[in-house]
Amino acid sequence: MIEVSAIVQQDYTKNLFFDSKMPQVIPNKISIPRDDNNECFKIFKKKLFENGININTHDLVDQTKIDLEIFFHFNFNVKKKKIIKYCVWPEAPEIYPRNASSQLDKDFNKIFTTFDNDVDNKKFFPIKYPINFRNSINPKFSERKKLCCILSSNKTLSVNSSNSGYSERVKIIKWFEKYNPLDLSLYGVGWNGYFSSNYYLNRYFRRLINKIYTKKISVYQGVATSKSEIYQNHKFSICYENVLGKSGYFCELIFDSMNNGCIPVYLGSSNVTEYIPQNCFIDRRNFTNNQELLNYLKNFKEGDYNNMQDNINNFLKEQTNQIFSVEFFANQIIKHIKIDVCS
């Protein structure tokens, strides 16, 4: 049996990374579990075991007996040990500066990345965050009582960048709050205080400003205890990636929305239509401003909405063994482990 150590954040140790109780968010140290019971990483661990690979979080393994280390969602300091090291699904360097491809190249034997421009199939290999695609029946247009939602934490990049999805998210939230507060429901951690689209204010001065800031925005509905319930009660969701314009970069936002039949308004990956058909989402790049977008959403016909839901369902049904599936994710890792450890 090949022994693999999974290097994960402290919140996911004790094999919580592979457990149904893996938290989705932890506001105020209260763990809110994932709607999908973390099926993808439970399946991932099971598939590895079926292929003779035993993977556990780093706190549960005998460090003298491991064959390989896998760093997930890398933002750790890498210790220089003589052992094979993989980095799986590194976040953008705009969020974690150590994730620059030149640094990853130094620290790891192989990197499995969502960024198309880094893939060379020699040391950098393609992978996406695995999605648990559902085939459930979702509410139709007339059953969805609210217009738009955003499910996201209030964060910012580690560097000032014109490609900040965080800033664009804040801009549209503030626009709805000012002009159309009844048309948006905002859920997530960190929106109950001061926030700004200005990088420096949000990153360096928000805590200080919060000591004297008392205004609360009306669109904020608190932390989501169930993503599915929220998406299924809204017709549209605003899905902006954390970093914009990066080829192949996807988080789970757009897929969470589609899984629940909620049509995404998407802004993020520059080549999104190479992965997701244009008839499955609304491309924010096609609108000159928020008012134009809102007018479009408010005038969306029920028949067109239900047709787009059908397009989404057809797309989701086709994803078995495709690049966003847990099968692809697991098989990609298994293949390389067998090459690097067994050969």
- Residue ranges of domains in the chain, CATH in brackets: 2-132+321-342 (no CATH), 141-317 (3.40.50.11660)
List the Cα angle 142/146/152 in 5-degree steps.
130
pLDDT digits (tens, 9 = 90+) for 300-335: 999 999 999 999 999 999 998 899 999 999 999 999
- The amino acid sitting at 4 is V
The confidence score (pLDDT) of residue 206 equals 67
The confidence band for 78, taking pLDDT boundaries of 50, 70 and 90, is confident
Q: What is the rounded distance in angstroms from the CA atom of residue 166 to the CA atom of residue 142?
A: 31
The confidence score (pLDDT) of residue 152 equals 92
Is pLDDT of 33 > 80?
A: no
The percentage of residues in the chain with a pLDDT greater than 90, rounded to a whole number, is: 74
Which of these, 156, 179, 140, 163, lies nearest to 95 by C-alpha position? 156
Q: Say if residues 259 and 317 touch (Cβ distance below 8 Å).
A: no
Which 3 state secondary structure label does DSSP give 169? helix
Which of these, 254, 78, 77, lies nearest to 150 by C-alpha position? 254
Query: Which is more confidently placed, 160 or 307?
Result: 307
Least confident among 29-33, 101-105, 134-138, 181-185: 29-33
The confidence score (pLDDT) of residue 302 equals 97
The DSSP letter of residue 202 is I
pLDDT digits (tens, 9 = 90+) for 192-249: 876 777 766 666 666 777 666 666 889 999 988 899 999 999 999 999 999 999 999 9
The confidence score (pLDDT) of residue 283 equals 98
Q: What is the rounded distance in angstroms from the CA atom of residue 260 to the CA atom of residue 221?
A: 19
Is pLDDT of 129 > 90?
A: yes
Average per-residue pLDDT for the chain: 91
- The arithmetic mean of pLDDT across residues 91-112, rounded, is 93
The confidence score (pLDDT) of residue 53 equals 97
Least confident among 44-58, 118-132, 149-163: 149-163
- The arithmetic mean of pLDDT across residues 271-299, rounded, is 98
The confidence score (pLDDT) of residue 29 equals 59
